């Protein structure tokens, strides 16, 4: 184990396709090395990483492939909107 790896680190990944009906789905979850791999893949692909221990506590209880519960719609919508705004900002910046 490397010193940067945190055994109790947790991560979850959601997939949302606005062209597909339904709520975002849990597509990955894990702790320790799996969490590190999820985060590394997200960074590698330029996917927004949002840190919220409270939200993560709920997400890790879901089964893989399960839609997020209705109680989380607002919280997840805010995260998605924020991620889209970051992407729009990045797209608007001239190349350096």
Tens of pLDDT along 26-73? 999 999 999 999 999 999 998 889 888 999 999 999 999 999 999 998
Environment class of 93 (CB within 10 Å of its CB; exposed 0-12, middle 13-18, buried 19+): exposed
> What domains can be seen in the chain, in order of their start residue?
10-92 (3.40.1690.10)
Handedness of CA 40, 41, 42, 43 (dihedral sign): positive
Q: Which residue do the tokens 């608007």 mark?
A: 92
pTM of the model: 0.74
């Amino acid at each position: 184990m490397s010193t940067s790896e945190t055994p109790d680190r947790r991560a979850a990944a959601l997939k949302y396709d606005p062209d597909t009906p339904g709520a975002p789905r849990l597509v990955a979850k894990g702790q320790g090395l799996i969490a590190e791999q999820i985060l590394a893949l997200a960074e590698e692909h330029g996917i927004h990483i949002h840190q919220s221990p409270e939200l993560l506590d709920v997400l890790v209880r879901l089964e893989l492939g399960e839609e997020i519960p209705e109680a989380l719609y607002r919280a997840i919508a805010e995260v998605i909107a924020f991620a889209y705004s970051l992407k729009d900002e990045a797209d608007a910046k001239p190349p350096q």
